[in-house]
Amino acid sequence: MRTYSSIESEFRRNFGELSKFSWCDFRPSSNGNLINASLSILPLAFADETRDKAWNEFCRIWLWLQQWMTSFDEGDAIQVVVGFPRDSKPSGQIFKGQLKVVDLQKLPENFTVQIFSECGGSFEELFNWSVYTKMLKPI
């Protein structure tokens, strides 16, 4: 039997040390757990490259979570966040999305923001890309 702890271990193994997986039971005010899966990425030399990398990781996490659908409770909701580490420049969240577990199976392999929303998800792009080059100090 898969548990949230085993999913957490596998998540960390697949996404590395800059990833986090947690859950919190919100019953009786909701029908299940809020599951949080997050990943920090390091900035690349250009904003568009970094944004593409963040989007690819956002999608990769959702598609990876699909294999665990039978381990989640039917009333669970999942939140995925991809952003920069807190101690880096720039820092902060880039993308944040929430989706109910019952809608997770609707996501196709190559989904877009529009398709994510059509599947029942909520999506936010939180990073101000116009200040990216001012903050970035490429290696």
pTM for this entry: 0.91
Average pLDDT, the chain: 91
Amino acid in the structure at residue 45 = A
The per-residue pLDDT for range 11-41, each reduced to its tens digit, is 999 999 999 999 998 777 778 899 999 999 9
The per-residue pLDDT for range 104-136, each reduced to its tens digit, is 999 999 999 999 999 999 999 999 887 776 665
Q: Which residues contact 128 (CB under 8 A, 6 or more apart)?
A: none
Report the pLDDT value the prediction gives residue 130, as an integer from 0 to 100.
78
Report the pLDDT value the prediction gives residue 89, as an integer from 0 to 100.
83
Task: Say how many Å lie between the first and final Cα of the chain, rounded.
Answer: 45
Average pLDDT score over residue span 51-78: 95
Amino acid in the structure at residue 109 = E
List Cβ<8 Å contacts ≥24 apart for 11-19: 11/37, 11/64, 14/64, 15/39, 15/61, 15/64, 18/85
Report the pLDDT value the prediction gives residue 120, as an integer from 0 to 100.
96
The per-residue pLDDT for range 37-52, each reduced to its tens digit, is 999 999 998 899 999 9
Report the pLDDT value the prediction gives residue 139, as an integer from 0 to 100.
47
Report the pLDDT value the prediction gives residue 135, as an integer from 0 to 100.
64
Report the pLDDT value the prediction gives residue 31, as an integer from 0 to 100.
83
